[in-house]
């Protein structure tokens, strides 16, 4: 054994009175360090996002022609105005596309100092591995900026969908009045999905596709500005009738809160959109949205073959008059809720499709049904020989935990009751869709729960494969 362990030397004696001032001094240092860290964190948190303008190919082409972008690219990086450029992938979205973001961060104080310069022009060019360039622009109107922005950083960004791979990102910033410019290049890496269950889904998509900076949050969930379709062909020997149903009921599950309902729509709407992009070569594809409480079909589109969902009509059904707060009040007056309308509507649609020579498939996107009262119903009557399959996809948001609710009245579609707010905490339900399976007996119901885009993709692939297998049966 080493001597340094066998023969320890005694430490010199230190009086407690000597330690007290040292301890006090160290405590002060800790306090000042905490204050400084907190102040820096708060300062860093003060950021203002400014959305890029709507996609305008004509304006983009005009600005790239007027500004010597290619010349600056040859000259290399330049930094005459303080800035920071980032380009990063954001992962899989519920739209089943890989999202990316290119952002420019500018000190607010610098922008306020240049208010008399008029505008700052931003240009971005993303080049894929094949050499295809995707261009966009932005304009910062300096005179419209408020002086308070001097205390924060300003973030200007472009959002886009991208295929897996590496992209060269070139960004320029130009102050036309002073003649100063910045230029930077980054690499954007978009990670490929591991064990992708839908490897051909992006077959017909462009490498890089900017999206509009939609100010309406519901529009941003559905993304009507993105025209591309997922590649999901369904082949069948017999004519195949497919119906995609979305349960958009603002039920008691949302506690009369539009914010809770909003969280649900964030996943349910793009899921509904993804399923409506199935390509049925031999048969038909229809879509509908249901309100199980008011027992009505709020939206229907009969022919979706190679067509997009009519978002304008669907969006109108989500207006404030149909919000969760309104329904919450009605339920107090008329009692609880039950989902029997879902069963009745499937039966009605089965009757409408009676005589169809091929299988009938119903795909339902719905919310947890914990708040519903399930009745003991007799089994459905089905004529012999009917080939009907139901896929029930229950979307359970992971973020519905707590929210502020007015004490005297519920939220009504964006209108908050500011009087005497209380905090309502809601547990994340692990609701089983078994009740739905029981309610729809003897139909064959395959039930799934999803909470993430990755889980939704796996379920989408499983349903697609099962439809294909079922359609092969004689």
Kindly write down the DSSP assignment for every residue of 154-209, as one continuous string: EEEEEEEEE-SEEEEEEEEEEETTT--EEEEEEEEEEPPPTT-S-TTTTTTS-SEE
* CATH 3.40.50 residue window(s) in the chain: 214-472
Provide the token pair at 285. 């594809």
Q: Tell me the pLDDT tens digit for each residue of 47-82.
A: 666 656 667 889 999 999 999 999 999 999 999 999
Residue 24's pLDDT is 45
Give the pLDDT mean for 180-201: 97
DSSP state of 278: E
Question: Residues 367, 264: contact at Cβ < 8 Å?
Answer: yes
pLDDT(417) > 70: no
Residue 236 — very low, low, confident or very high, per pLDDT cuts 50/70/90? Answer: confident
Range 49-190 has CATH code 2.60.40.10: yes
Strand, coil or helix: 43: helix
CATH code of the domain made up of 214-472:
3.40.50
Q: Tell me the pLDDT tens digit for each residue of 345-393.
A: 988 888 776 566 778 999 999 987 766 667 777 777 776 667 889 999 9
Provide the token pair at 284. 């038909």
pLDDT(39) > 90: no
* Most confidently predicted of 36-45, 142-151, 181-190, 206-215: 181-190
Exposure b/e, 290-308, CB count within 10 A at least 16 = b: bbbbeeeebbebeebeeee
Q: Tell me the pLDDT tens digit for each residue of 390-411.
A: 999 999 888 654 444 443 333 3
Question: Residues 351, 337: contact at Cβ < 8 Å?
Answer: no
Determine the Cα–Cα distance for residues 102 and 118; give it in Å rounded to an integer: 24
Residue 52's pLDDT is 62
Residue 227's closest CA among 167, 193, 273?
273
* CATH 2.60.40.10 residue window(s) in the chain: 49-190
Residue 119's pLDDT is 93
In the chain, % of residues over pLDDT 70: 74
Q: Tell me the pLDDT tens digit for each residue of 104-154.
A: 999 999 999 999 999 999 999 999 999 999 999 999 999 988 999 899 999
pTM, 2 dp = 0.79
Residue 303's pLDDT is 84
Residue 383's pLDDT is 63
Give the pLDDT mean for 325-340: 53
In the chain, % of residues over pLDDT 90: 49
Question: Residues 444, 473: contact at Cβ < 8 Å?
Answer: no
Give bridge partners of residue 441 from the DSSP assignment: none
């Amino acid at each position: 054994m080493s001597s340094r362990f066998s023969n320890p030397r005694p430490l010199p004696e230190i009086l407690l009175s000597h330690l007290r001032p040292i301890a006090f001094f160290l405590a002060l240092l800790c306090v000042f360090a905490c204050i400084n860290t907190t102040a820096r964190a708060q300062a860093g948190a003060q950021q203002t996002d400014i959305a890029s303008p709507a996609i305008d190919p004509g304006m983009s082409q005009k600005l790239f022609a007027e500004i010597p972008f290619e010349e600056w690219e040859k000259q290399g990086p330049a930094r005459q105005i303080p800035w920071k450029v980032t380009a990063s992938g954001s992962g899989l979205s519920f739209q089943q596309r890989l999202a990316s973001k290119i952002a420019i961060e500018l000190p607010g104080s610098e922008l306020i100092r240049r208010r008399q310069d008029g505008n700052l022009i931003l240009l971005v060019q993303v080049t894929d591995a094949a050499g295809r360039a995707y261009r966009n622009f932005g304009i910062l109107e300096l005179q419209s900026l408020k002086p308070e922005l001097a205390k924060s950083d300003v973030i200007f960004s472009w959002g886009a969908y991208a295929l897996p791979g590496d992209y060269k990102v070139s960004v320029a910033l130009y102050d036309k009045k002073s003649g100063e410019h910045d230029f930077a290049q980054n690499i954007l890496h978009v990670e490929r999905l591991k064990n992708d269950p839908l490897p051909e889904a992006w077959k017909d998509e462009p490498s890089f596709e900017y999206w509009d900076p939609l100010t309406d949050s519901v529009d941003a969930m559905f993304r009507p500005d993105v025209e591309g379709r997922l590649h999901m062909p369904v082949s069948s020997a017999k004519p195949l009738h497919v119906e995609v149903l979305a349960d958009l009921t603002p039920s008691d599950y949302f506690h009369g809160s539009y914010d809770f309902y909003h969280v649900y729509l964030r996943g349910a709407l793009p899921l509904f959109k993804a399923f409506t992009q199935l390509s049925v070569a031999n048969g038909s594809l229809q879509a509908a949205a249901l309100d199980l409480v008011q027992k009505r079909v709020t939206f229907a589109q009969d022919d979706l073959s190679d067509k997009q969902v009519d978002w304008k009509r669907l969006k109108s059904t989500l207006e404030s008059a149909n919000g969760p707060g309104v329904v919450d009040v009605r339920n107090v007056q008329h009692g609880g809720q039950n989902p029997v309308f879902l069963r009745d509507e499937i039966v009605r649609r089965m009757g409408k499709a009676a005589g169809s020579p091929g299988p009938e498939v119903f795909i339902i996107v719905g919310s947890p049904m914990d708040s519903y009262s399930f009745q003991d119903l007799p089994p459905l009557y089905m004529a012999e020989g009917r080939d009907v399959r139901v896929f029930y996809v229950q979307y359970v948001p992971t973020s519905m935990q707590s929210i502020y609710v007015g004490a005297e009245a519920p939220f009504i579609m964006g209108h908050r009751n500011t009087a005497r707010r209380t905090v309502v905490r809601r547990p994340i339900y692990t609701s089983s869709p078994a009740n739905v399976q029981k309610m729809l007996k003897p139909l064959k119901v395959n039930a799934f729960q999803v909470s993430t885009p990755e889980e939704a993709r796996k379920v989408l692939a499983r349903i697609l494969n099962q439809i294909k297998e079922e359609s092969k049966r004689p």
